[in-house]
Structure 1
Amino acid sequence: MAKKKKKPPQEATQIPEIVYQKGVTVQQQKEMRQLYAERARRRLESLRIYEPLPFQERFHSCGAKEVLIQAGNQVGKSLAAFVEDARAVTGQDPHNKYPKENGVLVCLGMDEGHIGRVIHKYLFRAGAFRIIRDLKTGHWRSWKPWIESDWARKEETKPSPPLVPPRYIKRFAWKKRAQHVFEMCELHNGWVIYAMGSKGEPSQGFQADLVHIDEDLERPEWYDEMVARLSMRDGKIRWSALPHSKNDALINLTERAEDEAKEENPSTQVIRATIFDNPFMPEQVKQENIKRWRKKGDDEYRKRALGEMVTDSILMYPTFSKDVHGAIRHAAPRTRVQEIVTEFKGVPPRDWCRYMVVDPGHAVCAVTFFAVPPEHIGDQVVVYDELYLQQCTATKFADAVDLKTRDFTFQAFIIDAHGGRLREIGSGLLPRIQYSKELEKRGVFSVETGSGFLPGKDDVAGREIKLREWLSIRAGGKTRLLVITEKCPNLCREFSRFKKKIVNGYVQDEGNRRSNSHAIETLEYAVAHGMKYVRPQTKVVKKSRVAQILEQRKLRDRQSRMNHVVRGGGPASSYINLGPTGE
């Protein structure tokens, strides 16, 4: 007969000595001891012992819909996020952000391995943090190694109990039980926890009160899908992550948080922490880690120690900044060009030379508009407007351009030569030919090119070098290129996402043009052209379509009368015809 495996001994719960009154039965005494034991066990639950650090408390108290806790390695971001999960599902959130019962939590990791190694471990197994018995009260509390007396009693510490106490758990639905990979956990209070990996297609068909994304996503589209799952329940999304610059969803979230930073009640916030915010890590260990990360490069140190989103080494144009390159500036220091653009509320004066640059395409057609001031004002060039047309046709393009260009004189139109040579499948016509015809119909033309286009330069490397020069800060803190950022949001967004190619883990010094770089490429064509100032000609007032038709009729009538005169009839019979008579 096989011997039964012995269960590991459990630490006896400290129960105070009970003084029973007369007449208490043995059964009542037994129940009383059980109640005292249960109270002692509940005092030992991790959520009651947990003491958040200042940055963790900022995370817990934040009521925004989207919150990112961004920190380096071993700082405490994952602990804070999983404590947030446990508080929600057990109805113990002190800030009352979630329903007490019948809620839905989605924990989203990279893959199945992440579910078993991280999600299940934090929520349902002991050891999320270390605890120690307090010498004064006798109760268990969080171990604080930065206190000398606690550090001296290191051997007396033990792992904290599971964040979600076993008494709450009703049942698990396992996928791989041996690896702790679960699909669903149902609690007695009606809450349900779903664990998902982000390698497949985003899950649909459910609503959630809280979504927790831990670390990176394999497919960034999961983020937008999870946000959509929160709409019906007014839910929250929480993301705990090392700053991964490869993930567009994470970059988008940080950009939204920056845009909303000045709002009174922002819907997106980022809580940041560094390795120096974690007193639980011994100083010696900190210095060893810092030394190791610095050897791998400054980017590694900034990401893992300081929790910074490091993009300098992988972005094509990392020097672009809204603060530095913004054309509208209300206070000094500013250039004369910035003063005029600000005074005219983002509309360059009529005596400035204008250019239009087009990157054609059906999925996205990008158009940027440039203004060059007279030389006595300055040598800066201003990108003052943009078009970012999706599912674009020649008609849609021409209509949009007509609205942007009317009443202004343009010196030239420039187009991506490669994109302009890609023929449309249906008609077989070149996009630049179609664009030109539609512009001509609407009377849209430039001084130099009419309704046609100059081809942009094919030298990609040369264009990249030139744009970097225009973005660089020159003497006096000036840059050659300025952007009215409020009117060019798509261009600004591409600057933060246009990255270099990465081959076998190594960063190449060329752009990954498979990503969205449409507006950026119009800038490259513009700087390669040079954008010279030419004094604008007087704008010819465009006539309406009806006026054009009436003028064409008058022209035909005049031509008909002239033909009649040439044939020798009517009142013009006194004219001499020197042609042959045919006799």
Structure 2
Amino acid sequence: MSISNDINERIKALSLERAQRKRDAIRIYRPRSKKIESFHRSVASEKVLRGGAGSGKSCAGFAELASAATGIPLIGMDGKEMPYKYPKAPLLIWVIGFGWDHVGETIHRYLFTEMSGMKMIRDKETNDYRIYKPWEPDDVARADEVESVPQLIPPRLIDQSQWAWENKGAKQFKRCVLKNGTVIRAFSSTSVAAKRGDEPNIICIDEDIENPDHVEEWQSRLRKGGILLWLAQPYSHNHALMMLSKRAEQERELEKPDIEEFQIRFSENQFIEQKEKEKMLKLWSSHGEDVLAARDKGDYVIGHILMYPSFSKNLHGIDLQERGQNESNPYVREIAQALRANGGQPPSNWRKDLVLDPGHATTAVLFGATPPDQEYKGRYHVIYDELYLHRHSADEAAKAISKKVGAKVMQSFVIDQRAARQTGWGRGAGETTHHIYSEAFARYGLRSIETGSSFSFGADNVEAGCARVRESMNIRGNGAPELLVVLNTTPNFQMEISDYKKSGGIKRQEVAENPAPRQKDHLMDCLRYYLSTEPEYIEPDRSLAVPSPAWKEFQTWKKKRETPESEKTVMKIGPGAAS
């Protein structure tokens, strides 16, 4: 009799669990578009799901996270299980919100309380729960049968004795342990320092973070084969998120990219009623196209935070291969023709300057030229070349620069003032960067008319320097800007200037006039130093120039090649050598 009771109890328990499983949000969830399904199927080690408010990114992102934590595969749009891509449990998962309020109000809600953004209804044929489809008339007719979708990770899978809380009443959890051994740790991004310790299998960042510089540290903590997920609206002040987007764009055409980004729209979210969508789109439109693009499509709005938004290749660029739009201006056209006629290099009668931004990791060099004012009816500064040297010593940098300079007469050498005064570059105690590079330049025969092998200092006023650069980009009375850039020889310059941002951002409404920290801005620093020196046109005095050793060696070799046979000294040995 007791055996029968045990069997009955077990049957009841199994029936109850089966019924509960049919209500599991993770089994009911379906990706609402092919783009979101592609996000779920992606095996990239870094995945960004970017979209506007209400686009469904949190719903999809936390479903992905819950699948990884529980080991339960998600179901695709075709009703079939999608491949499970994560290691077997137990896993260590970090989930990071902007602050503890975000952890309690959003992250805990999706994972452990209620799955927002979707509703469920019983299917007429199977009587099982499925996603409610408000765009289908049959479902709308049964709207009174609609139920909320429960949490993505059900209580029966959680070891309830292992919860740890920052604030239990506000549902701000610090740790949740599943019965399969997987640990989910929640963190606030407002921590003073990046989270250290442990080696997570997965890091999931939801929305914005306080300090984007922490992302690099978090990524370094990932276990081998670990995954970074970021579910975000476009925060233009967040340079770490924008860098991931940029890298994803660069790898878009690869067969197996390491990083992928998926962008989804609010207006395409079928789970939001059409009237509600139209109301929100109208509201956002009233605030301008930028707000609409950010809120609906998840586009970055960066025009107001770029340091140099007026820079344009069409306006400021010179293409050595083909005529540009700006060459409708006769002065720009003459400058471009002079460069093309000289193989892309400034003619010998132009002033030429070199600007150095030394660094342990990257040493950048910018080459600028000033054509004769009278000849071109105004002052122009032409950025005609660059060097981007990675982990070069001063001597290695000087050698590379000497090859680039060749026999050109340089008017001056300019260096970053702060870097020039630093010591501790691997030489004798107290030796400054300025001294070390001056000696290296001297050893390789690099000399300028004004500074010899030494340097003048670039102005240290960043805000004034940036204002000077912006001024140089303005259209003047002659219809042309002061600054021109040779496009064929300056790829790193163009990369930097197109992505050079001010500090602050759209979310906090704090946009300063100084550059944001931790950018790739070596050549932007050089540009600022260069224009701040206000180089005036001075015709080069070639008699004062000292060719570099590399140029001397080339000229010697060239002379030997051109010496006629009749002028060469010949010694004959053997019969017939003497009469």
TM interval, shorter chain, is 0.7 to 0.9
Call closer, same or farther: CA 1:420–1:246 in 2, change over 3 Å: closer
Correspondence for 1:130 among 106, 119, 131 = 119
Deviation sequence 1:150-189 (CA, Å, 0-9, x none): 2343332111121112222124331232222222222222
Correspondence for 1:482 among 460, 470, 485 = 485
Aligned Cα root-mean-square deviation (Å): 4.4
Compute the displacement of 1:83 (Å): 0.2
In structure 2, distance between residues paired with 1:259 and 1:84: 25
Q: Which residue matches 1:100?
A: 88
In structure 1, distance between residues paired with 2:164 and 2:459: 59
CA contact (8 A) 2:251 2:259 kept: yes
Compute the displacement of 1:214 (Å): 0.5
Compute the displacement of 1:126 (Å): 2.4
Deviation sequence 1:450-472 (CA, Å, 0-9, x none): 33445657897775455346557
- Whether 1:67 aligns to 2:64 is no
Give the partner amino acid of 2:530. Answer: A
CA contact (8 A) 1:209 1:236 kept: yes
- Whether 1:121 aligns to 2:118 is no
Deviation sequence 1:346-376 (CA, Å, 0-9, x none): 9748869542123578998653223678989
Q: Which residue matches 1:217?
A: 209
In structure 1, distance between residues paired with 2:536 and 2:37: 53
CA contact (8 A) 2:51 2:232 kept: yes
Call closer, same or farther: CA 1:112–1:457 in 2, change over 3 Å: closer
In structure 2, distance between residues paired with 1:330 and 1:134: 65
CA contact (8 A) 2:502 2:511 kept: no
In structure 2, distance between residues paired with 1:265 and 1:493: 27
Q: Which residue matches 1:16?
A: none
- Whether 1:226 aligns to 2:218 is yes
Call closer, same or farther: CA 1:325–1:135 in 2, change over 3 Å: farther
Q: Which residue matches 2:397?
A: 400
In structure 2, distance between residues paired with 1:71 and 1:63: 20
Q: Which residue matches 1:187?
A: 178
Compute the displacement of 1:213 (Å): 0.6
Give the partner amino acid of 1:126. Answer: E
Call closer, same or farther: CA 1:373–1:219 in 2, change over 3 Å: same
For 1:367-382, what aligned pairs fall within 5 Å after superposition? 367-370=365-368, 381-382=382-383
In structure 2, distance between residues paired with 1:29 and 1:506: 64
Of structures 1 and 2, the larger Rg is shown by 1
Call closer, same or farther: CA 1:503–1:188 in 2, change over 3 Å: closer
3-state SS of 2:150 partner: coil
In structure 1, distance between residues paired with 2:407 and 2:254: 37
CA contact (8 A) 1:293 1:304 kept: yes
3-state SS of 2:43 partner: coil
Q: Which residue matches 2:570?
A: none
Correspondence for 2:257 among 241, 253, 266 = 266
3-state SS of 1:101 partner: coil
Tell me the matched-pair count: 515
For 1:145-160, what aligned pairs fall within 5 Å after superposition? 145-160=134-149
In structure 2, distance between residues paired with 1:435 and 1:46: 64
In structure 2, distance between residues paired with 1:152 and 1:536: 88
For 1:456-535, what aligned pairs fall within 5 Å after superposition? 464=466, 467-468=469-470, 471=473, 480-482=483-485, 489=492, 492-493=495-496, 495-499=498-502, 510-512=513-515, 517-527=521-531, 529=534
Give the partner amino acid of 2:205. Answer: I
CA contact (8 A) 1:51 1:142 kept: yes
In structure 1, distance between residues paired with 2:113 and 2:400: 63
In structure 2, distance between residues paired with 1:504 and 1:195: 23
Q: Which moved more, 1:234-243 or 1:298-307?
A: 298-307
CA contact (8 A) 1:498 1:515 kept: no
Deviation sequence 1:488-534 (CA, Å, 0-9, x none): 53773465243156799655673347665553132134345368595
TM-score by length of 2: 0.74
Q: Which residue matches 2:566?
A: none
In structure 1, distance between residues paired with 2:229 and 2:299: 18
Compute the displacement of 1:208 (Å): 2.1
In structure 2, distance between residues paired with 1:485 and 1:120: 52
Compute the displacement of 1:289 (Å): 2.1
CA contact (8 A) 2:419 2:433 kept: yes
Q: Which residue matches 2:452?
A: 450
Contiguous gaps of at least 5 residues in structure 2: 74-81, 328-332, 554-579
Compute the displacement of 1:428 (Å): 8.5
- Whether 1:316 aligns to 2:307 is yes
Call closer, same or farther: CA 1:403–1:119 in 2, change over 3 Å: same
In structure 2, distance between residues paired with 1:519 and 1:347: 20
In structure 2, distance between residues paired with 1:514 and 1:535: 38
3-state SS of 1:313 partner: coil
In structure 1, distance between residues paired with 2:131 and 2:226: 30
In structure 1, distance between residues paired with 2:67 and 2:340: 50
Q: Which moved more, 1:67-76 or 1:365-374?
A: 365-374
3-state SS of 1:237 partner: strand
Q: Which residue matches 1:411?
A: 410
Call closer, same or farther: CA 1:514–1:260 in 2, change over 3 Å: closer
The higher-RCO structure (CA 8 Å, 6+ apart) is 2
Deviation sequence 1:2-21 (CA, Å, 0-9, x none): xxxxxxxxxxxxxxxxxxxx
Call closer, same or farther: CA 1:433–1:142 in 2, change over 3 Å: same
Call closer, same or farther: CA 1:508–1:146 in 2, change over 3 Å: same
In structure 2, distance between residues paired with 1:486 and 1:166: 61
Compute the displacement of 1:266 (Å): 1.7
Q: Which moved more, 1:150-159 or 1:106-115?
A: 150-159
Call closer, same or farther: CA 1:343–1:328 in 2, change over 3 Å: farther
Call closer, same or farther: CA 1:485–1:91 in 2, change over 3 Å: farther
Give the partner amino acid of 1:385. Answer: E
Call closer, same or farther: CA 1:437–1:244 in 2, change over 3 Å: same
